[in-house]
Chains A and B, each alone.
Chain A
Amino acid sequence: MSDQGLGASVARKEDRRFLLGKGRYTDDVTLPNQSYAVFVRSPHANAAIRSIDARQALAAPGVLAVLTGEDAAADDLGGIPCGWTITSKDGSKMVAPPHPALVKGKARHTGDPVAMVIAETRAQAKDAAQLVEVDYDPQPAVAHLNAAVANGAPQVWDEAPGNVCFDWHLGDAAATDAEFAKAERVVAIDLTNNRVAPNAIEPRAANGYYDDVEDRYTLYTTSQNPHLTRLLLAAYTLKVPEQKLRVVAPDVGGGFGSKIFHYAEELLVLWASKKVGHPVKWTSDRSEAFLSDAHGRDHVTHAELALTADGKFRALSVRTLANMGAYLSTFAPAIPTYLHATLLSGPYVIPAIYAEVKAIFTHTVPVDAVRGAGRPEATYLLERLVDKAARELGIDRVEIRRKNLIQPDQFPYQTPVALQYDVGDYPATLDMALQAIDYGKFAERKAESEQRGKLRGFGISTYIEACGIAPSALVGALGAGAGLYEAATVRVHPTGSVTVFTGSHSHGQGHETTFAQLVNERLGIPIENIEIVHGDTDRIPFGMGTYGSRSAAVGGSAIYKAVDKIVDKGKKIAAHLLEANVADVEFEDGKYRVAGTDREKTFGEVAFTAYVPHNYPIDTVEPGLEDSAFYDPKNFTFPGGCHLVEVEVDPETGVVEVVDVAIADDVGVIINPMIVDGQAHGGLAHGIGQALLEECVYDTEGQLLSGSFMSYTMPRAADLPSFKVGNHVTACTHNPTGIKGVGEVGAIGVPPAVINAVLDALAPLGVTHLDMPATPEKVWRAIQAAQGGAA
């Protein structure tokens, strides 16, 4: 290992610009003759739009245009496409209603964009937006799953009777039924998975520029995957060929899934720029973000577990309603299906599993991937159910898990829900986490808490996730509209420094450092001499971007493969220079050496020769030293581990304090331990936030009650403890790096551990159930109800 290669906790290269205030985020980009867009959004969850009167707005100072759905239709702008098609049980395709960039005639959620006002300054645009008169005819709306599937519920789409988008299933119903029929014990649970807002601290923004001389569009946007955005703009929405489109995702202030999707505003600023002859910039307010960024989760689930009397799992049956919102966002249908139901085996041997997922339209903001995306929902229901089973069967919570974990010698392990796990060591991470939290002394700590009037609880979650998304052929067969490989170009410069062009996108993950470390590991070049370029479709190869913890595993593997090609070509050049057979030349520690001799050429010498090919095998080897690779994964990767949480509950107020968190993850081979730990910390905060604090609350009329940071609780520093993070590595068996991925482990693993800990704390009071978020009033009410109180 070099001091900058795999396993080195080097401080990040990208930090300096951020620390000096020199980052360049989308809203920082101001172009000559910049104009500004502000959207008029529906205040109603469901309303017919009778008319829009823009005359006053158009007459206001600085206003360049007011555009509506009529204008968009007249210019044949495409609707926002959904990139994944699910086929229902009965063989029918899901209902995919139109998703216009600006609505025409009807608004279907609060925040639906009705008109776009463009002015010379942002303030002028805001002023004028208030002058646009929209005549709405409000109609009954439905926001919640159970209400949306009830008889007589308001219908979001005529073409989706009962508000059903699709009714899908996975697994072997007959085998599962048979297990339940002969089960010695059955444990059932009903729970919800709360709707959350992604809330990257940087709000979304888009700045579109049409160059009428070059007939070319440039879009600066807060995207996790600029090439995907360009593809959708080209093929579906703007309908302009790719070479006429440049999409730049510069520094992006966090994504968490919400910046994967192609949003209407990205299309509209480009379209409007051509119409007004100015670049058009839109920057979301936070309250606007709550109404226009895709939300996450929002499931209602009933699940049953069949067990033997001594606690061996025999079968799992799951029925879930998943809220899609009013429209289908880019990957929405895949989240509760292929990223959820396929994970229902968890880290356990469960011989039979059957899952039904019904996706439901409501008059709410679309729901799509948020950090974890489907896998947190699966983990949450399974781990809650396992805990409940342990209590009902009188088995220790740790032991029931230990008894059912897939053992290291059972890999590769085929689950009943389509996935084949390649490798893992779940007992090892379980033991590691238990040791880190000093589980043996929990009773002492509980007694100490009790002396202070606090109820202490211990919570556990053993989890698995699927990431490294994804084999293209597989996802294609499952309904995806895109491939999910990644691309890299490695350009060696004449003096031996390197630029890597990657299709992955870094918005906090630290790729400028970790990808340089990968190259350093292979070529021995100091990371200071390796530049990572990402985020600009004019510069980088066509790649699929960053989400689903895929970049190190898939993007890193693409870089690895491109470096392989560089190394091989260098061998041919070195062999020529060393007057040896290519087969005899080996590459190690940045040097080409004739095996068994001290005859060698440095990588730098070979690179220089490639570009100054005076003494060169020109008949068989091209000059230059640059190569590309597209890496398509063979399988998902399967990080997993054990998350442990201790909480203290104040029984008087219901306040839950997380007092200790210890986790042991297996995320595969680690490039930079400091960065991997940082990713785990962030995911843990996200997961604890979902468990205790965060919820998008809609009222029955479809108004979002928690639409700002005044009412939607984001985790703060004082809400969290420091975290104990450990890793136990088993290398991924099917990619060249052995990396599995770490970005989502916290958000996936920890929420059930938190709730299990709260329920453990409250068990002596008779509380058996809570839904997330476990807010103080909810906890207090549960205590009152269990104690037979008035609440």
Chain B
Amino acid sequence: MRNFEFHRPQSVADAVTLLKGNDAAKLLAGGQSLLPILKLDLAQPSDLVSLAKIPGLKEIRSEGGDRGDLVIGALVTHDEVASSPEVRQRIPGLAALAGGIGDAQIRNRGTIGGSLAHADPAADYPAAVLALGATIVTDRRSIAADDYFTGLFQTALGADEIITAVRFPVPERSAYAKFPHPASKYAVVGVMVAKTAGGVRVAVTGAGSKVFRLTALEQALTENFAWRAASAVEVPPGDLRTGGESSPEYLAHLVQVMAKRAIQACQ
């Protein structure tokens, strides 16, 4: 690992100042994705800007009462999401997803904001954010999930933009089904299904170069929320990863199976 300058600003504004104009600076949240990357010298930042000392990024709260959105601060850990009574009660599918990320030690450090900023194509949270139609709240704007994930490890975030929270509309039902890689525990395929008054959304992580929606299945499920619809899912071949450990045919098949299981878990 190359050495770098380490900063622990006390406010989001100070953090933005540190990032501004310095393309070689990187933000550090829980570090569970970033540290392994730095250790393998896959990234060599000049500066690391830690968010750990910034107040107000660790809250979980419901806005606007029982029907309002669930807002999760960027620095809330996976474990805190998984074990939060509020999340478990309001979006149990999200709590369960968070409880299946990595392993216990990783869940104690890894954060929702960090995961979304990193946008690993095999991470779990992107599926939840996209299926639940969440909004990424940054220091300067709100980004709809549909606009947020732009490519492999690519997001709509500006170079000096900082996620402060994620706002989740509360669905009627939701569930996540994951086929984990046996070694890394990342998702080979993970499918999140969310049923809301406005319809059904289905998001797939792991199988492609970025998280994506299954709109045909969403339409079928909006008409009739039944697991049999999943067997008709056709994943556009262009959406699937190639050259990895799993063949595209197997990935496409797993998408069907995980979609079915997520739908069943919603029942």
Contacts and interface: CB of A to CB of B under 8 A. Distances in A.
Interface string A107-147: 00000000000000001001100100000000000000000
Interface in B208-267: 245-247, 249-250, 253-254, 257
Nearest to A697: B245
Nearest to B260: A652
Interface string A771-783: 0000111001100
Contacts of A790: 249
A25 interface: no
Nearest to A714: B183
Contacts of A775: 182
A712 B183 CA distance: 6
B184 A711 contact: yes
Contacts of B1: 123, 126
A781 B184 contact: no
Interface in B153-187: 179, 182-184
Nearest to B183: A713
B197 interface: no
B190 to A, nearest CB: 13
B183 A780 contact: no
B182 A713 contact: yes
B260 to A, nearest CB: 8
B40 A781 contact: no
Contacts of A583: none
Nearest to A287: B40
B253 A780 contact: yes
A381 to B, nearest CB: 26
A653 interface: yes
Contacts of B140: none
B2 A653 contact: no
Interface in A476-502: none
Interface in A686-715: 693, 705, 709-714
Interface in A733-787: 775-777, 780-781
Contacts of B245: 705, 711, 777
A345 B180 CA distance: 41
Contacts of B257: 652-653
Contacts, number: 36
Contacts of A287: 40
A287 B2 CA distance: 18
Given A127-B2, A652-B257, A711-B245, A780 B184 contact: no
B183 A711 contact: yes
A791 interface: yes
Interface residues of B, number: 17
B154 to A, nearest CB: 21
Nearest to A655: B179
A568 to B, nearest CB: 56
Contacts of B246: 777
A765 B245 CA distance: 25
A780 B249 CA distance: 11
A710 B184 contact: yes
A88 B253 CA distance: 49
A777 B247 CA distance: 8
Contacts of B249: 790-791
Interface string B1-14: 11100000000000
Binding site of A, secondary structure by majority: helix, strand, loop or mixed?
loop
B179 A653 contact: yes
A700 B250 CA distance: 22
B249 to A, nearest CB: 6
Contacts of A714: 183
A652 B246 CA distance: 15
Interface in A266-305: 287
Contacts of B250: 777, 780-781, 791
Contacts of A719: 182
A127 B257 CA distance: 47
Interface centre among A123, A127, A653 (most CB of B within 10 A): A653
A213 to B, nearest CB: 37
A709 B183 contact: yes
Interface residues of A, number: 23
Contacts of A780: 250, 253
Contacts of A712: 183
B125 to A, nearest CB: 19
A710 B183 contact: yes
Nearest to A653: B257
Nearest to B256: A652
Contacts of A776: 179
A791 B248 CA distance: 11
B252 to A, nearest CB: 10
B235 to A, nearest CB: 14
Nearest to B247: A777
A653 B254 contact: yes
Contacts of B3: 123
Contacts of B2: 127
A683 B140 CA distance: 57
A123 B1 CA distance: 8
Contacts of A123: 1, 3
A719 B185 CA distance: 12
Interface string A152-180: 00000000000000000000000000000
Nearest to A650: B257
A513 B221 CA distance: 64
A787 B144 CA distance: 44
B179 to A, nearest CB: 6
Contacts of A127: 2
A748 B254 CA distance: 33
Contacts of A653: 179, 254, 257
Nearest to B182: A713
B35 to A, nearest CB: 13
B182 A693 contact: yes
A287 B40 CA distance: 9
Contacts of B253: 780
A287 B41 CA distance: 13
A135 B254 CA distance: 44
A103 B91 CA distance: 59
Contacts of B184: 710-711
A776 B257 CA distance: 13
A642 B139 CA distance: 64
B82 to A, nearest CB: 17
Interface centre among B1, B2, B182 (most CB of A within 10 A): B182
Contacts of A781: 250
Nearest to A777: B250
Contacts of A710: 183-184
A780 B189 CA distance: 15
Interface in A75-93: none
A777 B254 CA distance: 10
A780 to B, nearest CB: 6
Closest 9 CB pairs of A and B: A713-B183, A713-B182, A710-B184, A777-B250, A652-B257, A711-B183, A777-B246, A653-B257, A710-B183
15 contacts: A123-B3, A127-B2, A287-B40, A653-B257, A693-B183, A709-B183, A712-B183, A713-B183, A714-B183, A719-B182, A776-B179, A777-B245, A777-B250, A781-B250, A791-B249
Interface of A: 123, 126-127, 130, 287, 652-653, 693, 705, 709-714, 719, 775-777, 780-781, 790-791
Interface of B: 1-3, 40-41, 179, 182-184, 245-247, 249-250, 253-254, 257
Given A127-B2, A711-B183, A776-B179, 20 more contacts: A123-B3, A126-B1, A653-B179, A653-B257, A693-B182, A705-B245, A709-B183, A710-B183, A711-B184, A711-B245, A712-B183, A714-B183, A719-B182, A777-B245, A777-B246, A777-B250, A780-B253, A781-B250, A790-B249, A791-B249
